[in-house]
Amino acid sequence: MFDNDDVELLRQASAKLCEGFAALPGFDVAVPGAERMADVLSLTAERLQNNYPYFHPLYAGQMLKPPHPVARLADALAMQINPNNHALDGGRATSAMEKEAVAEIAAMFGWREFVGHLCSGGTMANLEALWVAGQRGAGARGAGKTILASEQAHYTHKRISAVLQLSCESVAVDACGRMGLNALEERLARGDVGTVVATMGTTATGSVDPLPEILRLREKYGFRVHADAAYGGYFALAGNLGDAARAAFALIAEVDSIVVDPHKHGLQPYGCGCVLFRDPAVGQLYKHDSPYTYFSSAELHLGEISLECSRAGAAAAALWATQRLLPLAKDGEFARGLERGREAALELYRRVSHSEKFVAAFAPELDIVVFMPRAATASEASVHSRRIFAAAAERGLHLAIAELPARFWEATAGAMRLDRETMTCLRSVLMKPEHLDWIARIWERLEAATDAVADGAGKPR
């Protein structure tokens, strides 16, 4: 939350910004009085109270994480100019900042030569990647354009493919939520595949598709590989991944395109996704002749390499400032934050696995834990999951629920009867560094909520 120190930092930076425009003659702006604005802002604040406390460590549910203070301040600062990164005419400084910040993200994945840009989010970024895939797709053998993504890939790929009129098929996952290699190879052998989407951290469980093996299959069958690292991309910097995830991230430079969301794990406000292509020539596909935008410079205008037109330059200023403060370096402060979230997830997984009350699915590959309450059947556990979700919220702990294949519990279910194909389970995304310090308190509330539900369930009706 903004405090006096933040306001003072913003005031100082604003004064600095104004120095750049000091030569202009003054002019009057019609603004309503401070009193009326205060009234409206107070009403706005009141309305905004109707939210889960996303910024607090006891919010351990969905993928929500507060932007870094420096990102919020840089965003507010840039908002006074409200630059538009579509063209250099609309956002000179922020276009340069975007190019620098995006180059740093590409370097994190090992790319020096590439073409890429920011966009409104992972959906738009994936749309551009699949749009390019549709034109470039058709691997070495020049055959089809079908896109393959795992059953656990983000649902956006199916919808995007429909928009692009490309066929998109699902590949079965293994018991850990990763793309199944046998299923993939079987489908590849039938031909017609242009692109395989490797999800580097699925949205539901943070599972990382087996990129080394997918790349090996690319040698044999020839297809494009798109890495959807919208959620997991920054874990390329984490030093505490398991062997499989580490091996996958180590080869990410070999793919054709990458999507990563700075507004997920990159500490940015919403409205900041990023798409990168290994082959800079992809830029030509975006070619268009605008009669009115690109006059000020022969330099690259970002609108010449992106599908969206108007875009917030403030998002680039926020990202640039954040990466200046917290460089994207292995062993750096930013990487440490990711590692702490992962440690928190491993600790929660450890507690869940050792508890009589729960059954964990597989060990987390990133920082997401999925588990269910112990019960006689999957059906019963599903009902209890929903009750625990609500009982935890009453105790100030906010989790998420997910509908996942019951197969994910195959190895751990023991005597529990898996009487359903899918089951409703509890899911916790531990993406804030503070989560690590709060695990004991999270656990306490989770156990209390679970006991309350068990007591309720035990009572005669």
Ligand X SMILES: *Cc1c(COP(=O)(O)O)cnc(C)c1O
Question: In this complex, which beta carbon is closest to ligand X, that of residue 180 or of residue 262?
Answer: 262
Nearest distance from C-beta of residue 149 to ligand X, angstroms: 10
Question: In this complex, which beta carbon is closest to ligand X, that of residue 66 or of residue 222?
Answer: 66
Question: What is the size of the binding site for ligand X (CB under 6 A)?
Answer: 13
Q: Is 91 in the site for ligand X (CB under 6 A)?
A: no
When CB distances to ligand X are compared, the closest residue is: 122
Q: Which three-class secondary structure string do you get for the chain? A: CCCHHHHHHHHHHHHHHHHCCCCCCCCCCCCCCHHHHHHHHHHHHHHHCCCCCCCCCCECCCCCCCCCHHHHHHHHHHHCCCCECCCCCCCHHHHHHHHHHHHHHHHHCCCCCCEEEEECCHHHHHHHHHHHHHHHCCCCCCCCCEEEEECCCCCHHHHHHHHHCCCEEEECECCCCCECHHHHHHHHHCCCEEEEEEEECCCCCCCECCHHHHHHHHHHHCCEEEEECCCCHHHHHCCCCCHHHHHHHHCHHHCCEEEECCCCCCCCCCCCEEEEECCHHHHHHHCCCCCCCCCCCCCCCHHHHCCCCCCEHHHHHHHHHHHHHCCCCCCCHHHHHHHHHHHHHHHHHHHHHHCCCEEECCCCCCCEEEEEECCCEHHHHHHHHHHHHHHHHHCCCECEEEEEEHHHHCCCCCCCECCCCEEEEEEEECCCCCHHHHHHHHHHHHHHHHHHHHHHHHCCC
Question: In this complex, which beta carbon is closest to ligand X, that of residue 122 or of residue 194?
Answer: 122
Nearest distance from C-beta of residue 233 to ligand X, angstroms: 9
Nearest distance from C-beta of residue 62 to ligand X, angstroms: 10
Nearest distance from C-beta of residue 329 to ligand X, angstroms: 23
Q: Is 123 in the site for ligand X (CB under 6 A)?
A: yes
Q: Is 126 in the site for ligand X (CB under 6 A)?
A: yes
Residues 361-390 that bind ligand X (CB under 6 A): none
Q: Residues 168-207 vs ligand X: string with x where CB under 6 A?
A: -------------------------------x---x----
Q: Is 59 in the site for ligand X (CB under 6 A)?
A: no
Q: Residues 226-265 vs ligand X: string with x where CB under 6 A?
A: --x-xx-----------------------------x----
Q: Is 75 in the site for ligand X (CB under 6 A)?
A: no
Residues binding ligand X (CB under 6 A): 121-123, 126, 154, 156, 199, 203, 228, 230-231, 261, 273
